Structure 1
Amino acid sequence: MTAADSYAELVRRSKELGVLNSCAAVLGWDQQTYMPAKGAGLRGEQMAFLAGLAHGKATDPKVGELLAAVEGSDLVRDPESDAAANVRELRRGYDRSTKLPASLVEELARVTTAAQQAWQQARAANDFPAFRPLLEQVVALKRQEAQAVGYTDHPYNALLDEYEPGATVAEVREVFAGLTRSLVPLIKAIGDSGKKPDRSVLERDFPVERQKVFAEAAAAAFGFDFAAGRLDTTAHPFCSGVGPGDCRLTTRYNPRFFSEAFFGVLHETGHGLYEQNLPAEHFGTPVGGACSLGIHESQSRLWENQVGRGRPFWDHFFPRLRQTFPAALAGVEPERFYFAVNEVKPSLIRVEADEATYNLHVALRFELELGLISGDLAVADLPGAWNERFKALLGLDVPDDARGCLQDIHWSFGGIGYFPTYTLGNLYAAQLMAAARRDLAGLDDDFRRGEFSRLKGWLGQHIHRHGGRYRAGELCRRATGEPLSAVPFMSYLNEKFGPLYGVC
């Protein structure tokens, strides 16, 4: 078999695995949207079965033989070629997967399916003890995973690498330390300014059906293709990119708080635009997949915040919003509304946090995850540790676990190592938007007309079409001309909130 034949077989196997994983994605989406509660047991067995099949295909010794046959050949001589990128990432995935026992993979799928159902019920009932036994199982299994994969310095590195290849605890700690040093004085200056928006304009009667119509209109304006996607309701918003032609967004609605669903939809739309514009011909291979979760989050945070909380966006959309909710917004001026959706104030819920305080929420979770994985923090002590650290970081007393350590779905599905990518995404988003503004004159005028195609096209050219061809740091450098830095993010915050609050 020639190197070309071996590569073709690798691609065939990779695409077959992509189809299998897409089946699991549909079941996962259904579990969070329409599955009856009593279906959790069977769903756990279904997910474990599919995970076992996928693991078996991913770890087949033949894959290792095919990789060895291609590595070092002329096919991968150009490091930027499809073949070189696919082989590099398939090797990384193969080496990781072969270290994980099939029994561990299946048990993780089984336990996390049950844990997600338990979390949903525990959050609704504010009952952490009901969730604790399953969370203890998840943490124990993730520790086993870290040990099996292997690591240097800290077991968390093995888990972080799954979501942000190459990132380390030391690097993430440095990012959070630097951001905290810059954010804390800005947040304090805003708090001391004495200026406060009228938040009540967001806490009126906003009928859910009208919210859905308005949110879908904004998502469509951004370029989300509803013929290849849909929007549904769930307990915790997410985007599921099943595959070409099938991308599913979810949100949760609050009839008395406009921002919860709307900005959640804009966030998931950013994810959806990335999924819908990955190179479909490469589906199932690394070149057809997302670069990293940090880059994925950059797309959601860019559309949600850099665009969706900007004044030009609301210059266009506020008149339509007032037509949609005439009673709630009677007499509300655009500037008053714009200030309200850009309020900076420490709050309890991460997904509702403002842009300035958001990363403190992520820093909290990162610290707690380090303790859970190292064994320094017991699951039983999680609520107390959460509340104590939350008070120190954000100055608020946590009234209950539903608004504390139970608020996020991530730990229930085993996503330990995921949270730092949100902050990396914020930094990438600011840097990418600064580069897009540099390359595309008059973007704000586009937004005032409700026109977003030039920005979408720029992201398609610089981010989406590359899929997993480059690692995140290299992709950022190519798109912006600079390595990742927190400077564009802090400049963006100061330029936005300085005039609103009269601070420098």
Structure 2
Amino acid sequence: MQHATEQLRERLAEISDLERIRQVLNWEQSTMMPPRGAPARARQLATLANITHERFVAAETGELIAAAEQELTGLGLPADSLTVRLVAQARRLYDKGAHVPAELVKARAQAAADGYRAWLAARAADDFSAYAPALERNFDLAREYASCFDAQADLYDAVLDDYMPGMTDATVSVLFDELRGELVPLVDALAGRPIDTAVQRARYSIAAQRGLVAEVLGWLGFDASSWRLDDTAHPFQTSFSVSDIRLTTRFEADYFPGALYGAMHECGHGLYEAGIAPELERTPLGQIYSLAMNESQSRLWENMVGRSRAFCDALAPVLAGHSEGALDGLDGASLFRAVNAVQPSLIRIEADETTYGLHVVLRHELERALMSGELEVSDLPEAWNSRMRDYLGVTVRSDVQGVMQDVHWSEGLIGYFPSYAIGNLIAGQLWERIAAALPDLDAQLRRHDLRPLREWPTEHIYRHGSAFSDAELLSRLVGAPLQVAPFVRYLRGKLGDVYGIELA
């Protein structure tokens, strides 16, 4: 009888419940809370973060982990058994959390809630100076947090580890240098080759978009009995259990791809969370190990599925059918070209699949410089705008379309951005594996039969939760470490089809 392991499970289950409650409050803050509720909500989130952290890093938790480790030593369980992985993950999280004072956890939660409120107000007024103090506060606290760990380590590595455990800035920088080296000439090669993208700016009522999004999400697996979709300023996904998945998106009457592909992106996250094995709930394994693997799924469903030629053939008549006549006669080939055109632009979440990576590289460089102190918050807009000109050739005329477009830094999510582009790279590797495993994939996409595609990652990725690291999953599934080349091959193949040219 594994007494210590069972006692550890019970304690971790209570801590998991507290964390899920915090996520409920965060979700409601971003979707339904009236503006005047913000100060009280900030205090509530800070209190709850403090209680959860203190309970997790308490001596009793450490003693239970040590006892469970000792208990498992003589049982001869395989290294990848769920019980062994559960205790190992608890140990990893406990050892990391124990370095961080509870007051700092509380301060960061308070600053995140305050920062979100400041971001909303500053965006409405297009006033970066009103947002800057909250941003400075979050970066100050991030540096204080990072300094809790190895004093010799790079501060930025400490925050990266929160989102991609084991990942270092040295590795990210090498990958991003290679990625930028591939993307910039690819974008240059396609410059001056216009694609008609007018379809994306057709006037499409928000009411009609809601019907469109609901139908397409149904294809992906959205189930109203356990899923929910709401409006927000910046799309996100969260879950409170495998049977309570919350998606959000943002609707604009003159840009339907924002709502449609935003919802598909968040649904990719939701499919991952809904696919975690129910027996892992209320344990450290009942969550996703890395945001990079998580982002690989949102990017895969949004782009590799949603913007594929085969899926566009299925999507075009439905898109036209909901458009109230605005897109009558739209065909799949025209939609495919429009939604994959390479057009450098201002907004990351609206960026085409090719230039998107450059938006992420820019953010990685800036937040790394802010963490190290090489860049001051007051100089951030100028640095942002300069890189937008250099990397994408676009001019930023408003901070709302520049440095204030993303919610992440306002909520203290520093070190998060690289996971988007790393997710693209993982998706490139997985997509080649999926294509080999599902030879009829294109035919399935054309009839929007997405069940086989859902089942493959559910079986090989989703159900494991946090049982395996990204490196372990890649080794198991593709037999290779993280690489840039498969994603670039995928892009070149797709864009050659879009533009009707050979891209070597």
In the superposition, the TM-score normalised over structure 1's length comes to 0.97
- Name the residue aligned to 1:110: 110
CA distance in 1, matches of 2:419, 2:36: 33
1:308 aligns with 2:306: yes
Gaps of 5+ in 2: none
Mean CA deviation greater in 209-218 or 147-156: 147-156
Summarize deviations over 1:315-355 as a string: whole Å, max 9, x none. Answer: 11211111111421134433222211111011100001111
Q: Which amino acid aligns with 1:218?
A: V
Mean CA deviation greater in 168-177 or 438-447: 438-447
Summarize deviations over 1:438-462 as a string: whole Å, max 9, x none. Answer: 1111111001111001010001111
Matches within 5 A, 1:489-504: 489-501=487-499, 502-504=501-503
1:337 aligns with 2:316: no
CA distance in 2, matches of 1:76, 1:357: 50
1:91 aligns with 2:67: no
- Name the residue aligned to 1:79: 79
CA distance in 2, matches of 1:364, 1:133: 22
1:148 aligns with 2:132: no
CA distance in 2, matches of 1:326, 1:334: 18
CA distance in 2, matches of 1:129, 1:75: 60
- Name the residue aligned to 1:162: 162
Summarize deviations over 1:7-53 as a string: whole Å, max 9, x none. Answer: 11111111111111111111100100110111111001110111011
CA distance in 1, matches of 2:242, 2:460: 20
SS of corresponding position for 2:90: helix
Summarize deviations over 1:360-402 as a string: whole Å, max 9, x none. Answer: 1000000011111111111111111111122111111111110
1:346 to 344, 347, 359: 344
CA distance in 2, matches of 1:13, 1:209: 46
Give the percent of matched residue pairs that are identical in Structure 1 and Structure 2: 42
CA distance in 1, matches of 2:75, 2:172: 35
CA distance in 2, matches of 1:327, 1:90: 55
Summarize deviations over 1:195-242 as a string: whole Å, max 9, x none. Answer: 222222111211111111211211111112221111000000000111
- Name the residue aligned to 2:189: 189
- Name the residue aligned to 2:9: 11
1:418 to 416, 419, 435: 416
SS of corresponding position for 1:351: helix
The Cα of 1:435 is off from its aligned counterpart by 0.4
Distance 1:52 1:326, change over 3 A: same
Is 2:289–2:467's contact at 8 Å kept on the other side of the alignment?
Answer: yes
The Cα of 1:284 is off from its aligned counterpart by 2.1
Distance 1:468 1:152, change over 3 A: farther
Matches within 5 A, 1:241-252: 241-252=239-250
- Name the residue aligned to 1:47: 45
CA distance in 2, matches of 1:13, 1:217: 41
CA distance in 1, matches of 2:272, 2:286: 11
Q: Which amino acid aligns with 2:206?
A: V
CA distance in 2, matches of 1:68, 1:337: 57
Aligned Cα root-mean-square deviation (Å) = 1.3
The Cα of 1:426 is off from its aligned counterpart by 0.4
Is 1:383–1:405's contact at 8 Å kept on the other side of the alignment?
Answer: yes
CA distance in 1, matches of 2:333, 2:445: 16
Matches within 5 A, 1:438-453: 438-453=436-451
- Name the residue aligned to 2:173: 173
CA distance in 1, matches of 2:325, 2:124: 30
Q: Which runs of 4+ in 1 moved over 4 A?
A: none
In the superposition, the TM-score normalised over structure 2's length comes to 0.97
1:138 aligns with 2:143: no
